[in-house]
Structure 1
């Protein structure tokens, strides 16, 4: 009887040790992630593979990033991920507007965050995203993943009379189509090379226009974006036809109205 009690205790202890040792690992063979992503870059740190993925290649403007950690082919659940995107321009470095990663609502085996890249990679400089990952066992992984950022039409900037710069990001629709579209912008300013806070409670006056040539053209039905918090502004636009459109944006922040900026893009028929 004593032997049976001892054996049972030993078995329970072994199961507890196995559970604790495995608690940060998700067996990747159970089910595949539902997200359709492309790999942006990956590095290895202490036998862990850290991968950065996204829905498409990165570009100036808003990008949703997804972080995946693996060890021995299994997905690993971290306790915390913190990141810092950095542009190295040789004689200076700067960051960009971004959020810290949180558990991805689409798939809880990923962490995700938004980053708004304010310039493209190229002769002016190169981007890398520094990371620090705390695992459930309190092991800390650090490193950086170099990334390539292409130019896009979805970001513009404007300066006031004091040379303060504002970044206006076209967030929605990512691919404009005929008919009604949610129209979303994000607005940030630059306080320093490392600080790009959102601009709250500004006013955005917009005007969509299609140039038909020969001095003729027309607008379409729309509602101007209103502040929704955290630098996000939302309205709507109903494109009456496909083709090349422009939308002008005039930003008023506090008592300062900045010069008009312009987005030019293509609307697809649906």
Structure 2
């Protein structure tokens, strides 16, 4: 065997290895999504896996679901979920959307869930799911879920005791300079129903306490409603360090008690 023939065979083997590795990487880790595994359960031969861009925490979370039968990803006719917090004397749900095919990778179903309290001594989260296969089989199951604490959700209530949840959506990692500033607003109609609120007004005030009775704000555009509970604006942090943002929610001309988000802004 001459050197040219040997080199040709080596290059062919290398190309095959590259294709195999590329296919495996695409199947397991979509570079556009950059997900980490959260949990998986197997029911009646079907494995339901949950992934997310980050660890699940109170506040807004993007959830990505994949269903496999053996090594094959399947597309169900329907897939629905219900997050449930089981407590000692009661249970409740949380604001969430139903999963739908993800626009970046249709092997996943994705949705947004806003968890209103962490797992722990008060109770534990489970996501109940149900899907219908292409063969008309109905599969149901439960997925335990650990939800960590965070600073990204607060709640307030009106004079009647109706509760509202204010979720810090963006920036997830506040940085010095310009940032999108987005909040999500939901209310509680019942322990199982938390609809989005899209007709409120947000009055905000960012502030950095410099100590000794001095401090300052920074340029920002107040968030306005854009639909489905989202309120979008922007903020330009003048410096890194510890900041607070006070939020007052105005609903039907009623100003609810303010909430205060405290967080760190990192240097860009």
1:121 and 2:150 aligned = no
* Cα deviations by residue, 1:3-46 (Å, 9 ceiling, x for unpaired): xxxxxxxxxxxxxxxxxxxxxxxxx7593241322221111111
CA distance in 2, matches of 1:244, 1:84: 37
Where in structure 2 are the equivalents of 1:139-154 lying within 5 Å? 139-154=137-152
CA distance in 2, matches of 1:57, 1:31: 22
CA distance in 2, matches of 1:50, 1:186: 28
CA distance in 1, matches of 2:203, 2:253: 14
Partner of 2:15: none
Partner of 1:245: 243
Where in structure 2 are the equivalents of 1:219-238 lying within 5 Å? 219-238=217-236
CA distance in 1, matches of 2:73, 2:34: 17
Residue 77 of structure 2 aligns to a residue in which SS? Answer: strand
Q: TM-score, normalised by structure 1?
A: 0.87
Where in structure 2 are the equivalents of 1:13-24 lying within 5 Å? none
Residue 85 of structure 1 aligns to a residue in which SS? Answer: strand
Q: TM-score, normalised by structure 2?
A: 0.88
Say which of 249, 263, 266 aligns to 1:265.
263
* Cα deviations by residue, 1:194-226 (Å, 9 ceiling, x for unpaired): 110111210000000011111111100001010
CA distance in 2, matches of 1:64, 1:90: 28
Say which of 204, 207, 212 aligns to 2:205.
207
* Cα deviations by residue, 1:68-101 (Å, 9 ceiling, x for unpaired): 1112222112221100000000211100000000
Pair 1:30–1:52, CA change in 2 (3 A): closer
Partner of 1:134: 132
1:31 and 2:29 aligned = no
CA distance in 1, matches of 2:25, 2:163: 49
Residue 236 of structure 1 aligns to a residue in which SS? Answer: strand
- Which ranges in structure 2 are unaligned for 5 or more consecutive residues? 1-22
Say which of 252, 255, 259 aligns to 2:253.
255
Shift of 1:266: 0.8
Residue 231 of structure 2 aligns to a residue in which SS? Answer: strand
Give the RMSD, CA atoms, in angstroms: 1.2
CA distance in 1, matches of 2:137, 2:24: 24
Partner of 1:4: none
